[in-house]
Structures are given as structure tokens and as C-alpha cells.
Chain A
Amino acid sequence: MTVLSIPAEVLAVFHHFRTAEFSTIAKDGTPIAWPVTPLYQEDSGTFITATSIGLPNKAFNIRRNPRVALLFSEPKASGLPAAPAVLVQGQAQVDDTITTLAGLEALWEKIYRFQPPGSQISSSPLSRYLMDWYYMRLRIVTVPQRIAWWPNGDFSHPPQVVANVG
């Protein structure tokens, strides 16, 4: 894999933005984005996310068409007031096996760090019963092909780009 030359301000976005808008292509060809919290792995240059089997459409979409995108455009709570917006386009793979933890330890730690009230989900036997499906996950790995960023999140000008990344 090509070693990326990603600017520090873009890496900061990957690590500190609370959410990204993750797009997959539905069966009818419609690209649909939902907010996720992805984990960027600097050693491999890939993004890890996961979808619950209670919300499996992202996984079904990727199995039909691996083209995906992650847009980082919501800086709220990131501590990066003048951050760029960043678009990552790439190819994703989704695991066949369901995991409840293995391979997602660092992702869960990041989510819990960003989302302290998330501990409520497992705080009582009732909430564990109602929400166990939330932890039954299909792991998704996205390999970037192209990374574009807009300084100060200003979409009116063409972005700066790193292409043929993966």
C-alpha cells in the first residue's frame, strides 16, 4: 500500500471529529449517508467502523457494491474550530462473521471516550436486554482511494486532493 502524505490538520479531523457521514450505495443505486464514528488506523491507513445486525443495510450495500465515502463535515465538540472538511472515497469490505468485541476494542474505546452517556446502554439488566443487538456488529474496513479536503470547511472552492491512495 502507498504510504500516505496526509496533512496534520486532516489527521486531526480523523481523530477528533465525533462523527463522519458514511455513504454506501443502496440496491437501487441511491448513495445514502448515515452518521458513524469511524476509527482511523494510521499504521494501515484504513478506517474501521461497524454496523449492528439490527441495522444491516450498510453491510448489504457494501457486499453488492464496495464503493463508499466518508465525509467529515461536522466539527461539533472536536475542539477544532477551524478544521477542514474531509472527504474519503474508497473501497470497503465487511466481515461475514458477527463480532461483539474482537477487532473493535479500539473503536469502542473511541466511542465511549466521545460518548460518556453511552454507558447507560449497559447499566441495567433491562437496558442490556433491549440493546444487546446494538453490540452485535459486522466489522467494516474502508481502504481510501482518494482523500479530498476543504480548508475551513469551505465547499465553495475546489478541494485539495491526495489521489490513488490505496
Chain B
Amino acid sequence: MWADLVKRLARYPSAVLTGLDGAGYPFSLRCVPEPDSARQVLRLALPDYANLQAGPASLLCHDHDDQLWNQTNVVVRGALEQAEGAWLFRPAQLLEGAGAGMSMLRQLRDGRRAAGRYLAKRGLARPRIPWDQLKAIMARARKS
């Protein structure tokens, strides 16, 4: 996972780190993780004011074009640690998000299956999508 993670993070200029603050709320900020391949951790320069707690955390990298299309994203689950006065992120799992090619086809398949499971578990019929009303909203959005 480590080599894949380093390769993917390198595609983005920065990442969103999310940890928990002292009140138990998610706290996010932008940072530039620096891979430490010897220890297989990411070094983070985090400001002191952040009040982030050591423990579970994640990193998100994402991008889109000017039309909010061609979206790519990846999430890394892991843990925040403090060692010798520095913050480290220890990765545990890579979650693939939006992307092009096979990734998109896989997401279409997985989304359809997950929705089917959600409905089946609750004994719900598949909702009908009001395509005409959505089309009218699209037309309105184009004019605004």
C-alpha cells in the first residue's frame, strides 16, 4: 500500500487532514504531507493552535476541473501520532474515490448495488426519478 499511497499523494499539491479536536468534533485543515519511506509514515507540519488529538484521522486529496467535472479523489484512513515533538500520520487503509476509466465503471456498479441493498433491507420499492423536473432545474441553472 505504501508505494501506491506515495504515488497517489504526489498527484496533488496538498491534502486535507481531518482529525478530532478536544471537543470530539472533526477538525480539518490543508497540509502538505511529506513521506518518510523508512518508517512508512507521513510527516505533517501542523500548527499548535489546531488542538488536534492523537488518534484516528484521515487524509483526503481531491481535484476537479473548472466545470466541477473530471473529479478525482482518494482518502487515506490512519492515525495521528506525536513523536519527538512532531506530528506523524500513520496510514492504514487507502479508500479509492472518484476517478477516470475503470474506477468510474466500478463506482457505477458498486453504487447501483449498494442502493439496491439499501432498498431491499428496508423493504422499499425503487423510487422513480422525476427526470422531467430535473431537466427543468437544469434549464433554470443554465440561465442563471
Residue numbers of A with Cβ under 8 A of B are 18-19, 21, 23-26, 28-35, 37, 52-56, 67-69, 71, 73-74, 76-77, 85, 87, 89, 98, 100-101, 105, 108-119, 122, 128, 130-136, 145-146, 153, 155-159
Asked whether, in the complex, the Cβ of A32 is within 8 Å of the Cβ of B134, the reply is no
Q: CA separation between A135 and B129, bound complex, in Å?
A: 7
Chain A residue nearest to B73 (CB atoms) is: A35
Q: Identify which of B20, B73, B138 contacts A34 (C-beta below 8 A).
A: B73
Asked whether, in the complex, the Cβ of A122 is within 8 Å of the Cβ of B75, the reply is no
Q: Inside 8 A of A85's CB, which chain B residues have their CB?
A: 29-30
Interface size class of B (residues with CB under 8 A): 35 or more
Q: Inside 8 A of B20's CB, which chain A residues have their CB?
A: 25, 29, 31
Label chain A's interface by main secondary structure: mixed
Asked whether, in the complex, the Cβ of B47 is within 8 Å of the Cβ of A30, the reply is no
Residue numbers of B with Cβ under 8 A of A are 16, 18-21, 24-31, 47, 49, 55-58, 60, 62-69, 71, 73, 75, 77, 95, 97, 108, 110-116, 118-119, 124, 126-131, 133-135, 137-138, 140-142, 144
Q: Identify which of A37, A73, A122 contacts B134 (C-beta below 8 A).
A: A122
Q: Identify which of B66, B73, B110 contacts A54 (C-beta below 8 A).
A: B110
CB distance from A33 to the nearest CB of B (A): 5
CB distance from B129 to the nearest CB of A (A): 5
